[in-house]
Amino acid sequence: MTDNLQTLWHAQAAENAFTQPDDLMQRTSSFERQMRRRNLIEYLAGGFVLALSIPAAVLFASIGLTGMALSMALVALGVVVVLWNLRHRASAEVRRPEEECRTHLLAQYRRQADALRKVPLWYIGPLIPGVLGVYATVGFMAAGQVDLWDLVVHVGAPLAATLAFFGFVIWLNLRAARKLAAQAKALEEA
């Protein structure tokens, strides 16, 4: 009788999928390293944009180009908002000792998927006023000095390229959000 129960127990154990805790811990650590690396790159890029836009705003203000100064200040402010949002929306959640690895990894996947889905609001949105301000200021300054076709080519085409780039960034992030949501669902069902 005991041999039959052991055989039955072993047979059931073989067909059940069991994720080893070490594997979950390794996946969690790898995912968190990936998030830290991504965020570090974003912080460095934001610092670079701030290092350019703040002096540019001061320079434009000093020579009387108020529209460009205001636009560059809006770019800098937008970058600060993006970096703040990155820290508060898309950084790794702190591990709690009482939380099991699977629960923590699921929470990380869901948090990142949510942050990526909302990139148009918290990442692209704060940059739009400054970017549009720069293009609008250049357009207004050039209006009347060049013909309409030159204005479209030299302002409209770069503006369209910038907006297309923003659209591409949104698309990439939405695609990544779908992948993370699928990973969360697969981990939940495992």
State the DSSP string of 160-174: HHHHHHHHHHHHHHH
pTM for this one?
A: 0.81
Q: What is the dihedral of CA 87, 88, 92, 97, to 10 degrees?
A: 130
- What is the C-alpha separation between 18 and 102, in angstroms, rounded? 12
Query: What is the chain's pLDDT, residue by residue, as a tens digit (190 residues)?
Result: 556 656 655 555 544 544 566 666 676 788 888 999 999 999 999 999 999 999 999 999 999 999 999 999 999 999 999 999 999 999 888 877 777 878 888 989 999 999 999 999 999 999 999 999 999 999 998 888 888 888 888 889 999 999 999 999 999 999 999 999 999 999 888 7
Burial letters 91-130, b for 16+ CB under 10 A, else e: bbeeeeeeeebbebbbbbbbbbbebbbbbeebbbbbbeeb
| pLDDT reported for residue 21 | 60
User: Which one, of 125, 118, 112, lies nearest residue 81 by Cα?
Assistant: 125
Residue 146 contacts by C-beta under 8 Å, 6 or more apart in sequence? Answer: 154
